Amino acid sequence: MPEFDLVYSPHWFYGKDIAIDSVSIIVLLLIAFFSYQCYRTRKTCKNPLWLAVSFFLLALSFAAKILVNFTLYREVLRTESIGPFSMIYETMAASPVLFIAGFFAYRVLTLLGLYMLYSVYSERQSFTTKVLIMFFILMSTHLSYSSYYAFHVTALALLALTTYTYIQKMCECGMKTSLLLAFSYGLITLSQFFFIFIRAQESLYVIGEAVQLVGYLLLAFIFLRALYHGKKACAN
Amino acid sequence: MAKKRARIDIITDMLSSIQNKGGEIKPTHLMYKSNLSHGQLVSYLDELLEKELVKKVKKKEYDYIILTDKGFSLLSRLKEMVEFEKTFGL
Protein backbone atom coordinates (compact mmCIF):
# COMPACT_ATOMS: atom_id res chain seq x y z
CA MET A 1 0.00 0.00 0.00
CA PRO A 2 1.46 3.41 -0.96
CA GLU A 3 2.43 5.83 1.77
CA PHE A 4 -0.04 8.59 2.23
CA ASP A 5 0.56 12.01 3.66
CA LEU A 6 -2.51 12.19 5.85
CA VAL A 7 -3.52 15.16 7.88
CA TYR A 8 -6.37 14.64 10.27
CA SER A 9 -8.61 17.10 11.94
CA PRO A 10 -8.44 17.62 15.71
CA HIS A 11 -10.02 14.74 17.56
CA TRP A 12 -12.85 16.88 18.98
CA PHE A 13 -13.82 17.90 15.41
CA TYR A 14 -14.38 14.33 14.18
CA GLY A 15 -17.83 14.02 12.64
CA LYS A 16 -18.46 17.77 12.65
CA ASP A 17 -16.57 18.19 9.37
CA ILE A 18 -18.83 15.47 7.91
CA ALA A 19 -21.87 17.54 8.92
CA ILE A 20 -20.33 20.67 7.36
CA ASP A 21 -19.53 18.85 4.13
CA SER A 22 -23.10 17.50 4.02
CA VAL A 23 -24.43 21.06 4.04
CA SER A 24 -22.06 21.91 1.17
CA ILE A 25 -23.35 18.90 -0.79
CA ILE A 26 -26.97 20.01 -0.38
CA VAL A 27 -26.19 23.57 -1.52
CA LEU A 28 -24.18 22.39 -4.52
CA LEU A 29 -26.80 19.86 -5.63
CA LEU A 30 -29.65 22.41 -5.35
CA ILE A 31 -27.81 24.92 -7.52
CA ALA A 32 -26.60 22.23 -9.95
CA PHE A 33 -30.14 20.92 -10.42
CA PHE A 34 -31.60 24.40 -11.02
CA SER A 35 -28.78 25.37 -13.36
CA TYR A 36 -29.39 22.21 -15.38
CA GLN A 37 -33.11 23.07 -15.55
CA CYS A 38 -32.15 26.54 -16.82
CA TYR A 39 -30.09 24.97 -19.56
CA ARG A 40 -32.86 22.54 -20.55
CA THR A 41 -35.55 25.25 -20.56
CA ARG A 42 -33.80 28.31 -21.95
CA LYS A 43 -31.00 26.78 -24.04
CA THR A 44 -29.54 30.25 -24.65
CA CYS A 45 -26.00 29.07 -24.03
CA LYS A 46 -24.12 26.17 -22.44
CA ASN A 47 -22.79 28.02 -19.38
CA PRO A 48 -25.67 26.87 -17.12
CA LEU A 49 -24.86 23.29 -18.14
CA TRP A 50 -21.17 23.67 -17.29
CA LEU A 51 -22.05 25.30 -13.98
CA ALA A 52 -24.39 22.38 -13.21
CA VAL A 53 -21.69 19.84 -14.09
CA SER A 54 -19.10 21.75 -12.05
CA PHE A 55 -21.28 21.92 -8.93
CA PHE A 56 -22.31 18.29 -9.34
CA LEU A 57 -18.67 17.19 -9.49
CA LEU A 58 -17.91 19.26 -6.38
CA ALA A 59 -20.87 17.66 -4.58
CA LEU A 60 -19.57 14.21 -5.55
CA SER A 61 -16.11 15.16 -4.30
CA PHE A 62 -17.53 16.11 -0.91
CA ALA A 63 -19.38 12.79 -0.81
CA ALA A 64 -16.06 11.02 -1.47
CA LYS A 65 -14.41 13.09 1.28
CA ILE A 66 -17.16 12.06 3.71
CA LEU A 67 -16.54 8.43 2.75
CA VAL A 68 -12.79 8.81 3.44
CA ASN A 69 -13.42 10.56 6.77
CA PHE A 70 -15.96 7.93 7.74
CA THR A 71 -13.49 5.12 7.16
CA LEU A 72 -10.88 7.01 9.20
CA TYR A 73 -13.12 8.09 12.07
CA ARG A 74 -14.81 4.75 12.53
CA GLU A 75 -13.53 3.20 15.72
CA VAL A 76 -13.73 -0.48 16.41
CA LEU A 77 -12.93 -2.68 19.35
CA ARG A 78 -9.94 -4.98 18.86
CA THR A 79 -8.89 -7.81 21.11
CA GLU A 80 -5.24 -8.79 21.40
CA SER A 81 -3.81 -11.62 23.41
CA ILE A 82 -0.40 -11.27 25.03
CA GLY A 83 0.37 -14.48 26.92
CA PRO A 84 -2.29 -15.11 29.52
CA PHE A 85 -3.57 -11.60 29.19
CA SER A 86 -6.03 -10.28 26.71
CA MET A 87 -6.52 -6.66 25.97
CA ILE A 88 -9.50 -4.94 24.46
CA TYR A 89 -8.92 -1.51 23.03
CA GLU A 90 -10.45 0.98 20.69
CA THR A 91 -8.61 1.79 17.51
CA MET A 92 -9.22 3.33 14.14
CA ALA A 93 -10.38 0.90 11.51
CA ALA A 94 -9.56 1.61 7.92
CA SER A 95 -10.90 -0.12 4.89
CA PRO A 96 -7.96 0.26 2.47
CA VAL A 97 -9.92 -0.05 -0.77
CA LEU A 98 -12.59 2.44 0.27
CA PHE A 99 -9.94 4.77 1.62
CA ILE A 100 -7.77 4.79 -1.51
CA ALA A 101 -10.77 5.12 -3.85
CA GLY A 102 -12.31 7.87 -1.74
CA PHE A 103 -9.00 9.71 -1.34
CA PHE A 104 -8.38 9.71 -5.11
CA ALA A 105 -12.00 10.51 -6.02
CA TYR A 106 -12.17 13.44 -3.61
CA ARG A 107 -9.11 15.12 -5.05
CA VAL A 108 -9.72 14.46 -8.74
CA LEU A 109 -13.41 15.39 -8.60
CA THR A 110 -12.69 18.58 -6.65
CA LEU A 111 -10.04 19.77 -9.09
CA LEU A 112 -12.15 18.79 -12.10
CA GLY A 113 -15.16 20.59 -10.65
CA LEU A 114 -13.12 23.71 -9.92
CA TYR A 115 -11.61 23.67 -13.40
CA MET A 116 -15.11 23.42 -14.93
CA LEU A 117 -16.20 26.35 -12.75
CA TYR A 118 -13.23 28.36 -14.01
CA SER A 119 -14.17 27.42 -17.60
CA VAL A 120 -17.65 28.92 -17.12
CA TYR A 121 -16.22 32.41 -16.65
CA SER A 122 -13.03 32.30 -18.69
CA GLU A 123 -12.42 32.58 -22.40
CA ARG A 124 -12.96 29.46 -24.46
CA GLN A 125 -9.90 27.23 -24.36
CA SER A 126 -8.41 25.06 -27.08
CA PHE A 127 -8.54 21.28 -26.88
CA THR A 128 -4.77 21.04 -26.23
CA THR A 129 -5.03 23.53 -23.33
CA LYS A 130 -7.78 21.41 -21.77
CA VAL A 131 -5.68 18.24 -22.14
CA LEU A 132 -2.71 20.02 -20.51
CA ILE A 133 -4.82 21.15 -17.57
CA MET A 134 -6.24 17.63 -17.12
CA PHE A 135 -2.63 16.40 -16.98
CA PHE A 136 -1.78 18.95 -14.29
CA ILE A 137 -4.86 17.94 -12.30
CA LEU A 138 -3.84 14.28 -12.38
CA MET A 139 -0.24 15.16 -11.47
CA SER A 140 -1.42 17.31 -8.58
CA THR A 141 -3.62 14.45 -7.34
CA HIS A 142 -0.73 12.02 -7.59
CA LEU A 143 1.65 14.40 -5.77
CA SER A 144 -0.89 14.99 -3.02
CA TYR A 145 -0.55 11.34 -1.94
CA SER A 146 2.84 12.22 -0.47
CA SER A 147 2.41 16.00 -0.08
CA TYR A 148 -1.16 16.82 0.89
CA TYR A 149 -0.70 20.56 0.32
CA ALA A 150 -0.19 20.06 -3.45
CA PHE A 151 -3.90 19.45 -3.77
CA HIS A 152 -4.88 22.49 -1.70
CA VAL A 153 -2.44 24.77 -3.55
CA THR A 154 -3.93 23.66 -6.88
CA ALA A 155 -7.48 24.13 -5.59
CA LEU A 156 -6.51 27.57 -4.24
CA ALA A 157 -5.05 28.56 -7.62
CA LEU A 158 -8.15 27.44 -9.53
CA LEU A 159 -10.52 29.16 -7.12
CA ALA A 160 -8.48 32.38 -7.07
CA LEU A 161 -8.45 32.49 -10.87
CA THR A 162 -12.19 31.78 -10.99
CA THR A 163 -12.94 34.57 -8.50
CA TYR A 164 -10.70 37.03 -10.34
CA THR A 165 -12.16 36.14 -13.77
CA TYR A 166 -15.69 36.41 -12.41
CA ILE A 167 -15.02 39.86 -10.89
CA GLN A 168 -13.45 41.02 -14.16
CA LYS A 169 -16.42 39.79 -16.18
CA MET A 170 -18.96 41.38 -13.84
CA CYS A 171 -17.10 44.71 -13.81
CA GLU A 172 -17.29 44.74 -17.61
CA CYS A 173 -21.06 44.20 -17.38
CA GLY A 174 -21.37 46.80 -14.61
CA MET A 175 -23.20 44.42 -12.26
CA LYS A 176 -22.78 45.44 -8.63
CA THR A 177 -25.23 42.82 -7.31
CA SER A 178 -22.82 40.07 -8.21
CA LEU A 179 -20.19 41.29 -5.69
CA LEU A 180 -21.83 39.03 -3.13
CA LEU A 181 -21.17 35.98 -5.31
CA ALA A 182 -17.57 37.10 -5.76
CA PHE A 183 -17.32 37.32 -1.96
CA SER A 184 -18.73 33.79 -1.65
CA TYR A 185 -16.19 32.44 -4.14
CA GLY A 186 -13.53 34.42 -2.27
CA LEU A 187 -14.44 32.78 1.05
CA ILE A 188 -14.26 29.30 -0.47
CA THR A 189 -10.86 30.29 -1.92
CA LEU A 190 -9.70 31.50 1.51
CA SER A 191 -10.66 28.17 3.09
CA GLN A 192 -8.19 26.38 0.80
CA PHE A 193 -5.49 28.79 2.00
CA PHE A 194 -6.08 27.64 5.59
CA PHE A 195 -6.01 23.95 4.57
CA ILE A 196 -2.50 24.35 3.14
CA PHE A 197 -1.04 24.97 6.61
CA ILE A 198 -2.93 22.39 8.69
CA ARG A 199 0.22 20.36 9.28
CA ALA A 200 1.69 23.32 11.15
CA GLN A 201 -1.45 23.98 13.17
CA GLU A 202 -4.30 21.45 13.40
CA SER A 203 -6.88 24.07 14.39
CA LEU A 204 -6.50 25.67 10.95
CA TYR A 205 -8.51 22.71 9.62
CA VAL A 206 -11.42 23.82 11.81
CA ILE A 207 -11.07 27.43 10.67
CA GLY A 208 -10.86 26.33 7.04
CA GLU A 209 -13.98 24.19 7.37
CA ALA A 210 -15.85 27.05 9.09
CA VAL A 211 -14.86 29.57 6.38
CA GLN A 212 -15.84 27.05 3.70
CA LEU A 213 -19.22 26.55 5.38
CA VAL A 214 -19.87 30.29 5.47
CA GLY A 215 -18.91 30.48 1.78
CA TYR A 216 -21.39 27.78 0.80
CA LEU A 217 -24.14 29.18 3.02
CA LEU A 218 -23.63 32.55 1.34
CA LEU A 219 -23.85 30.78 -2.03
CA ALA A 220 -27.19 29.28 -0.93
CA PHE A 221 -28.41 32.72 0.17
CA ILE A 222 -27.44 34.26 -3.19
CA PHE A 223 -29.20 31.47 -5.06
CA LEU A 224 -32.42 31.77 -3.02
CA ARG A 225 -32.31 35.55 -3.32
CA ALA A 226 -32.05 35.28 -7.11
CA LEU A 227 -35.14 33.04 -7.16
CA TYR A 228 -36.98 35.47 -4.89
CA HIS A 229 -36.13 38.47 -7.10
CA GLY A 230 -37.24 36.54 -10.17
CA LYS A 231 -40.58 35.70 -8.55
CA LYS A 232 -40.99 39.27 -7.33
CA ALA A 233 -40.28 40.66 -10.82
CA CYS A 234 -43.05 38.46 -12.12
CA ALA A 235 -45.52 39.46 -9.39
CA ASN A 236 -44.88 43.14 -10.08
CA MET B 1 -25.69 45.57 -32.71
CA ALA B 2 -28.20 43.75 -30.43
CA LYS B 3 -27.98 39.96 -30.30
CA LYS B 4 -30.80 38.03 -31.96
CA ARG B 5 -33.35 36.90 -29.39
CA ALA B 6 -33.64 33.22 -28.66
CA ARG B 7 -37.05 31.58 -28.99
CA ILE B 8 -37.48 31.30 -25.25
CA ASP B 9 -36.63 34.99 -24.82
CA ILE B 10 -39.37 35.93 -27.29
CA ILE B 11 -41.87 33.80 -25.37
CA THR B 12 -40.74 35.42 -22.11
CA ASP B 13 -41.17 38.88 -23.65
CA MET B 14 -44.64 38.00 -24.91
CA LEU B 15 -45.83 36.64 -21.58
CA SER B 16 -44.27 39.62 -19.77
CA SER B 17 -46.02 42.05 -22.11
CA ILE B 18 -49.38 40.41 -21.36
CA GLN B 19 -48.70 40.44 -17.65
CA ASN B 20 -47.59 44.09 -17.72
CA LYS B 21 -50.93 45.04 -19.21
CA GLY B 22 -52.79 43.51 -16.29
CA GLY B 23 -53.04 40.01 -17.73
CA GLU B 24 -54.86 40.83 -20.92
CA ILE B 25 -53.78 42.54 -24.12
CA LYS B 26 -54.91 43.10 -27.68
CA PRO B 27 -52.94 41.14 -30.31
CA THR B 28 -51.71 44.31 -32.03
CA HIS B 29 -50.42 45.74 -28.75
CA LEU B 30 -48.73 42.42 -28.02
CA MET B 31 -46.99 42.58 -31.39
CA TYR B 32 -45.61 46.08 -30.70
CA LYS B 33 -44.70 45.48 -27.05
CA SER B 34 -42.86 42.25 -27.93
CA ASN B 35 -41.14 43.67 -31.02
CA LEU B 36 -42.53 41.06 -33.35
CA SER B 37 -43.53 41.03 -36.98
CA HIS B 38 -47.07 39.93 -37.81
CA GLY B 39 -45.84 36.58 -39.08
CA GLN B 40 -43.86 35.95 -35.88
CA LEU B 41 -46.80 36.98 -33.72
CA VAL B 42 -49.13 34.51 -35.44
CA SER B 43 -46.58 31.72 -35.20
CA TYR B 44 -45.71 32.23 -31.53
CA LEU B 45 -49.28 32.98 -30.51
CA ASP B 46 -50.47 29.70 -32.03
CA GLU B 47 -47.86 27.90 -29.95
CA LEU B 48 -48.84 29.71 -26.75
CA LEU B 49 -52.52 28.96 -27.38
CA GLU B 50 -51.77 25.31 -28.12
CA LYS B 51 -49.83 24.94 -24.86
CA GLU B 52 -52.62 26.75 -22.96
CA LEU B 53 -50.24 29.42 -21.72
CA VAL B 54 -52.64 32.06 -23.02
CA LYS B 55 -56.24 32.07 -24.22
CA LYS B 56 -58.21 34.21 -26.62
CA VAL B 57 -61.40 35.89 -25.53
CA LYS B 58 -63.74 38.32 -27.27
CA LYS B 59 -64.66 41.51 -25.44
CA LYS B 60 -66.86 44.10 -27.11
CA GLU B 61 -65.99 42.97 -30.66
CA TYR B 62 -62.25 42.94 -29.88
CA ASP B 63 -60.04 39.91 -29.39
CA TYR B 64 -57.99 39.86 -26.23
CA ILE B 65 -55.11 37.59 -25.29
CA ILE B 66 -55.31 36.58 -21.66
CA LEU B 67 -52.55 35.01 -19.57
CA THR B 68 -53.63 31.72 -18.01
CA ASP B 69 -52.47 30.39 -14.62
CA LYS B 70 -50.21 27.97 -16.46
CA GLY B 71 -48.73 30.88 -18.43
CA PHE B 72 -48.20 32.88 -15.25
CA SER B 73 -46.41 29.93 -13.61
CA LEU B 74 -44.15 29.51 -16.61
CA LEU B 75 -43.39 33.23 -16.71
CA SER B 76 -42.53 33.17 -13.01
CA ARG B 77 -40.19 30.22 -13.58
CA LEU B 78 -38.57 31.86 -16.60
CA LYS B 79 -37.94 35.08 -14.69
CA GLU B 80 -36.34 33.09 -11.86
CA MET B 81 -34.05 31.48 -14.42
CA VAL B 82 -33.18 34.83 -16.01
CA GLU B 83 -32.37 36.27 -12.59
CA PHE B 84 -30.31 33.19 -11.71
CA GLU B 85 -28.28 33.42 -14.93
CA LYS B 86 -27.75 37.14 -14.39
CA THR B 87 -26.63 36.67 -10.76
CA PHE B 88 -24.23 33.82 -11.53
CA GLY B 89 -22.81 35.58 -14.58
CA LEU B 90 -23.96 32.93 -17.03
Say what the pLDDT of residue A7 is. 57
Of A44, A181, A230, the CB nearest to B83: A230
Question: Within its chain, how far is the Cα of A207 from the centroid?
Answer: 15
Burial tier of B18 (Cβ tally within 10 Å: 0-12, 13-18, 19+): buried
State the pLDDT at residue A1: 42
- Condensed to tens digits (0 to 9), the pLDDT of residues B41-57 reads 999 999 999 999 999 99
Higher local confidence (pLDDT), B79 or A201: B79
C-alpha of A109 from chain center: 8
Query: b or e along A146-171 (b: 16 or more beta carbons within 10 Å of the residue's beta carbon)?
Result: eebbbbbbbbbbbbbbbbbbbbebbe
Residue B59 phi, psi dihedral angles, 5° rounding: -130, 115
Tens digit of pLDDT per residue, chain A (236 long)?
445 555 567 777 777 888 899 999 999 999 999 999 999 988 878 899 999 999 999 999 999 988 877 766 555 545 555 666 555 555 545 566 777 778 889 999 999 999 999 999 888 888 898 899 999 998 998 888 878 888 999 999 999 999 999 988 888 777 665 788 999 999 999 999 999 988 888 888 899 999 999 999 999 999 999 999 888 887 76
pLDDT at residue number B59: 84
Phi, psi (degrees; rounded to nearest 5) at B64: -125, 145
CB B44 within 8 A of CB B14: yes
* Distances, alpha carbon B52 to alpha carbons A226, B21, B46, in Å: 27, 19, 10
Asked if B72 and A178 come within 8 Å (Cβ–Cβ), the reply is no
Residue numbers in B near A178 (CB within 8 A): 87-89
Yes or no, beta carbons of A181 and B89 under 8 Å apart: yes
- pLDDT, residue A199, reads 81
Residue B73 has pLDDT above 80, yes or no: yes
Q: Which residue has the higher pLDDT, B60 or A92?
A: B60
ipTM of the complex: 0.83
Contact status of A122 with chain B (Cβ, < 8 Å):
no
A16: distance to nearest CA of chain B, Å?
30
Per residue in B22-44, pLDDT (tens digit) is 888 999 999 999 989 999 999 99
Model pLDDT, residue A169: 83
Contacts (Cβ under 8 Å, ≥6 apart) of A235? B76
- Kindly determine whether residue A45 and residue B89, on different chains, have CB atoms separated by under 8 Å: no
Is the whole-model pTM more than 0.80? yes
CA angle B76, A234, B24 (to 5 degrees): 100
Is the per-residue pLDDT at B1 higher than 70?
A: no
Mean pLDDT of chain B: 90
Task: Give chain A positions within 8 Å (CB) of B72.
Answer: 234
Residues of B in contact with A175 (CB under 8 A): 86, 89
